[in-house]
Amino acid sequence: MPELPEVETVKRGLDRVTLNCPIEGGDVLLPRTVAHPFSVADFLSSLSGVKILQWHRRGKYLLAELVTEGQKHFLTEKSTLPQSSNTIPAGWLGVHLRMTGQLLWLHRDEPLQKHTRVRLFFAESRELRFVDQRTFGQMWWVPPTSLPEDVISGLKKLGPDPFSAEFSIDYFAKQLQNSRRPIKTALLDQELVAGLGNIYADEVLFLSKVHPTTLCSELKRDGIERLHDAIVRVLQTAIEAGGTTFSNFLNVQGINGNYGGVAWVYKRAGEPCRLCGTSLERIKLAGRSSHFCPQCQK
């Protein structure tokens, strides 16, 4: 599943190619991919003729701020439009890639991939193509009179973004101090911190020298501080590498991420630790694989 670095990589790629380019229509090949509105025709008609002002990321969600030309009537709370703008809000396009979703920026004549679900047509014969093998991905159109979280219910449950001021050491410590969950399980909780997933949780724990089964309530302040610092550092490093490709993640240009080649522990069970040479191990926690070094993480 794409995690925060992969989604951020896609967001930055979309900002480079889709902004201020009119949407000229589209095609929905799998109707249940569109979560809102319930009518595919309404979804496409609401997007036709609008432009994308800017892409935003919240946790693992992508949100495109939409505008049309004309006299400004109102601005939503989250709008980035300047007060002097002669464009008006046209709502939001929300996307969640889930397990296998890809957003690809292609020429409209490119042959369709087998698992193409939604196509959005742009000027100059370009298109944004949503490809999703497992079909769990979703798209939403949010009307301009609503905030994204009014329509996309999952946004309401998200904890702070790891790069935000809200994700402070004090906040992190308070959330962990009374929890009897293993720390690996806690790190995957999107209500604790948004965007962290299985790959980078393993990497964070390794760099923090914390065993994945350690109970949150047993962590000392210095361990929590190491974890907090590692979350930010690991995610930033992965973003700079363009994300991780262990299965089918591609950026908008169809290029693999590079972080997998330098991972400390994830998917490296049986291989030597990059620091001490001990054979790395893998265990299951709450149904998820956890990779760790038994020497470095005690």
Active site residue 2: yes
Coil vs helix vs strand at 13 = helix
Active site residue 60: yes
Are 108 and 127 spatial neighbours (Cβ–Cβ below 8 Å)?
Answer: yes
Burial class of residue 261 in the structure, from the number of CB atoms within 10 Å of its CB (0-12 exposed, 13-18 middle, 19+ buried) = exposed
Active site residue 181: no
Of 3, 6, 65, 127, which residue is the catalytic one?
3
Tokens 């490093």 correspond to what residue? 237
Q: Is the peptide bond before 162 cis (omega within 30 degrees of 0)?
A: no
> What is the rounded CA–CA span in Å between residue 132 and residue 140?
15
Active site residue 110: no
Of 11, 51, 58, 60, which residue is the catalytic one?
60
> What is the rounded CA–CA span in Å between residue 143 and residue 56?
16
Is 115 annotated to bind a ligand? Reply is: yes
> What is the rounded CA–CA span in Å between residue 56 and residue 92?
10
Are 128 and 122 spatial neighbours (Cβ–Cβ below 8 Å)?
Answer: yes
Tokens 């972080």 correspond to what residue? 259
Of 2, 89, 162, 212, which residue is the catalytic one?
2
Q: Extract the annotated binding site.
A: 115, 134
- Which of the residues are catalytic? 2-3, 60, 288
Q: Extract the annotated binding site for DNA.
A: 115, 134
